[in-house]
A = this chain, B = another copy of it.
């Protein structure tokens, strides 16, 4: 849908559909909130039965499920709905790969308000909302993020664990900055029984990371450094520092400032691993990657999806010798590996 194709070029119907595209977000979110995907996966397959199961009105369920069928999240045959193979994997809560919690963050009131004021954000060059400075704490928002977005991290967390050679089992010390749900560090700890993870984030967010560390059986190798990544003592002698989805929130001087602290925390020969949306120099490809800039315009004072040359320059200014780019397979993000 977000990938432009020849057939999707503007036309009256295309313009009408894009102005109405917010309906798709609302419908998928409603389907997730009412958990119709799990219900259908369990065999509740007519609008009458789904209404009884979810406590919603039959008319509401029928119109919603028809709409989700039009957008290929369901199929419909003789009045009976079924999951598509992909919905069974990613939207049925019984599936280990379920991404449904993501709707709680991507469809949150804050995000909705920020985009409702997008014209003002373009005028101003930064969010029209109240929380544009992400060097400051914003606990409710980031706890919601930590609770909602963990399932989406799996492919990139596994990719980062491979880049950190976690399966070799070499003893190592890993700092996870802005750890959130903690899944990047935890994934390394799962693969490497000799890895010690230190998570830095705001205190209420670290509670979520610690819960996850317990759930995945790595709590005894998991410690925390609460507070601002710009101010708190991060410790030293790390083999790896993880910087996942953090730089895009800041302007370039702030990114450099953080990366200088990372440089100081790494041992010689250590590596910073940065997960980011890194568009090509044209800033319009690849589509989902490049489109992320708009999220930062809507929600932050000065964040952006920086290009590789911008990151190279910032990281060199912070003292790093060399940075290389590694696209995460089948995901719109990239990992930057920077050597101290």
Interface on A for B, CB 8 Å cutoff?
1-5, 7-30, 33-34, 55-64, 66-67, 69-73, 76, 84, 86-87, 90-91, 99, 102-103, 106-107, 112, 115-116, 118-119, 121-126, 152, 155, 282-285, 287-288, 290-291, 293-298, 302, 304, 330-332
Task: Knowing A106-B20, A297-B64, say if A59 contacts B125 (CB, 8 Å).
Answer: yes
Supply 13 further A-B pairs (C-beta < 8 A) apart from A1-B8, A21-B22: A9-B72, A10-B84, A12-B331, A13-B332, A16-B288, A18-B25, A19-B103, A22-B24, A23-B115, A26-B116, A30-B118, A59-B297, A66-B293
Min CB–CB distance A23 → chain B (angstroms): 6
Min CB–CB distance A229 → chain B (angstroms): 24
Q: Give the chain B neighbours of A20 by CB distance below 8 A.
A: 2, 25, 106, 291, 295
Q: Is the CB of A284 within 8 A of B16?
A: no
Q: Is the CB of B19 within 8 A of A22?
A: no
Q: Give the chain B neighbours of A125 by CB distance below 8 A.
A: 56-60
Q: Is the CB of B57 within 8 A of A123?
A: yes
- Which one of B84, B103, B288, B297 lies within 8 Å of A13 (CB-CB)? B288
In the docked arrangement, what's the CA distance between A22 and B295, Å?
A: 11
Q: Is the CB of A290 within 8 A of B18?
A: no
Q: Is the CB of B63 within 8 A of A14?
A: no
Q: Is the CB of A29 within 8 A of B19?
A: yes
In the docked arrangement, what's the CA distance between A60 and B297, Å?
A: 7
Interchain Cβ contacts under 8 Å between A and B, 6 examples: A10-B73, A18-B25, A19-B103, A22-B112, A60-B121, A70-B284
Task: Knowing A71-B4, A332-B13, say if A26 contacts B22 (CB, 8 Å).
Answer: yes
In the docked arrangement, what's the CA distance between A152 and B86, Å?
A: 36
In the docked arrangement, what's the CA distance between A332 and B124, Å?
A: 38
In the docked arrangement, what's the CA distance between A24 and B118, Å?
A: 11
* CB-CB nearest in chain B for A106: B19
Min CB–CB distance A19 → chain B (angstroms): 4
Q: Is the CB of B152 within 8 A of A293?
A: no
Task: Knowing A3-B7, A10-B72, say if A30 contacts B284 (CB, 8 Å).
Answer: no
In the docked arrangement, what's the CA distance between A70 and B291, Å?
A: 7
* CB-CB nearest in chain B for A4: B72
In the docked arrangement, what's the CA distance between A21 and B70, Å?
A: 15
Q: Is the CB of B2 within 8 A of A288?
A: no
* CB-CB nearest in chain B for A103: B19
In the docked arrangement, what's the CA distance between A28 and B22, Å?
A: 11
